[in-house]
Amino acid sequence: MAKNQESSKKSESPQKYDKKFLTGLLVDMLNIRRFEEKAAQMYGLKKIGGFCHLYNGQEAVAVGSVAALDLKRDYILTSYRDHGHALAVGMSADSVMAELFGKITGCSRGKGGSMHMFDAERHMLGGNGIVGAQIPIATGVAFASKYKGTDGVTLCYFGDGAIHQGAFHESLNLAAVWKLPAIYIVENNNFGMGTAVRRVSSVDDFSVKAAGYDIPGKVVNGMDVLSLYEDLKEVIADARKNSRPWLLDVKTYRYKGHSMSDPAKYRTKEELEKYKEQDPILLLKARMLKDKQITEDEFKKFDDEAKKIAQASVDFAEKSEEPALETMYEDIYA
């Protein structure tokens, strides 16, 4: 039987990474944070409609795991909380914001909205709006990589709410039986919408469920981008080499409500503040400061740049055209 691994050690000193790499992680997280803040603001102004699930607080998960991938052969799929993953794979803030605005210049031509960010070229296969529905699909993408012999692995992100779906069980069993290179990442932010995980789960540690499929499982710190990157590097290398699935319980926290319509009254301000002390951006910044790999001025410069990119994406979305009416008949059949 596969043995679960313990939560990862704290990442070693960032000094073993070059400044460029660390700055890349930091900037990617900052860009997501500032983008999401801008999205929230635009939602308030009714420029964005419908459901809008923000990623604030969870940035390290998408950024650290995507950094460990080779997107020429690897794939990612996620849930409706997908803006961060879209930006992490390199989709432009313009194309994501324009999609939120429902404009023709959006990545999905204004057909998908917040929950359906796609970039086939960058191997970002969505953006799925049904809780847990991406888990079987990601399993199939991993199946295709194995079938074609590309050595590609697939990262499948979903929330702690989705793990109770039957789709999770059916998929992990299939992935285990067929030895598929799929890495199932529970972005465990403690709440399935407004329901605390402890109220609806029989276990605290989701990685133990891996034992039921005889696959390896692991608890991963989702607030520390470097330790997450290191864990994912190892897991991805193993999944690639041995063609087998993994289940990761990534402990993270979302700062905002489930969606923009959720005031998050089910948790205390103190709890939120406690988590913000381990903010993934500030954590990496503090380490880089300590090791003199960044100055306060440089950080401010990156942060200002992130704000500029977010504002520019709004300007781009604002001045983009609405889709023409006849486009409603397009993109249905190939």
* 214 near other proteins, judged by CB under 8 A: no
Nearer to other proteins, 76 or 225 (CB): 76
**Can you tell me which of 101, 118, 191, 213 binds other proteins, judged by CB under 8 A?**
118
* 196 near other proteins, judged by CB under 8 A: no
**Can you tell me which of 35, 75, 229, 299 binds other proteins, judged by CB under 8 A?**
75
Nearest approach, Cβ of residue 17 and other proteins (Å): 32
Nearer to other proteins, 56 or 171 (CB): 171
* 139 near other proteins, judged by CB under 8 A: yes
* 86 near other proteins, judged by CB under 8 A: no
d(CA 99, CA 121): 17
**Which residues lie closer than 8 Å to 152 by C-beta, 6 or more apart?**
73, 74, 75, 142, 145, 181, 240
Stretch that binds other proteins, among 4-12, 30-38, 101-109, 196-204 (CB under 8 A): 101-109
Q: Print burial letters for 57-76: b (CB count within 10 Å at least 16), e (below 16).
A: bbbbbbbbbbbbbebeebbb
Nearest of 115, 274, 132, 113 to residue 192 by alpha carbon: 132
Residue 200 contacts residue 164 (beta carbons within 8 Å): yes
**Can you tell me which of 22, 30, 87, 125 binds other proteins, judged by CB under 8 A?**
125
For residue 231 the two structure tokens come to 């864990």
- Looking at residue 321, the DSSP 8-state letter turns out to be P
Stretch that binds other proteins, among 57-65, 168-176, 221-229, 241-249 (CB under 8 A): 168-176
Integer CA distances (angstroms), 116 to 77, 80, 132, 207, 281, in order: 11, 7, 14, 28, 26
Stretch that binds other proteins, among 37-45, 135-143, 265-273, 283-291 (CB under 8 A): 135-143
* 126 near other proteins, judged by CB under 8 A: yes
* 184 near other proteins, judged by CB under 8 A: no
**Can you tell me which of 143, 211, 262, 267 binds other proteins, judged by CB under 8 A?**
143
* 114 near other proteins, judged by CB under 8 A: no
Residue 153 contacts residue 109 (beta carbons within 8 Å): no
* 27 near other proteins, judged by CB under 8 A: no
* 333 near other proteins, judged by CB under 8 A: yes
**Can you tell me which of 11, 128, 188, 313 binds other proteins, judged by CB under 8 A?**
128
Nearest of 248, 313, 257, 251 to residue 280 by alpha carbon: 251
**Can you tell me which of 19, 73, 151, 178 binds other proteins, judged by CB under 8 A?**
178
d(CA 59, CA 306): 14
**Can you tell me which of 57, 64, 129, 216 binds other proteins, judged by CB under 8 A?**
129
- Looking at residue 58, the DSSP 8-state letter turns out to be -
**Which residues lie closer than 8 Å to 164 by C-beta, 6 or more apart?**
192, 200, 201
Residue with tokens 């910044």: 285
Stretch that binds other proteins, among 113-121, 201-209, 240-248, 293-301 (CB under 8 A): 113-121
Beta strand pairing call for 124-127 and 75-78? parallel
Chain residues binding other proteins by CB under 8 A are: 75, 77, 106-112, 116, 118-120, 125-130, 133, 135-145, 147-148, 166-167, 169-171, 173-174, 177-178, 330-334
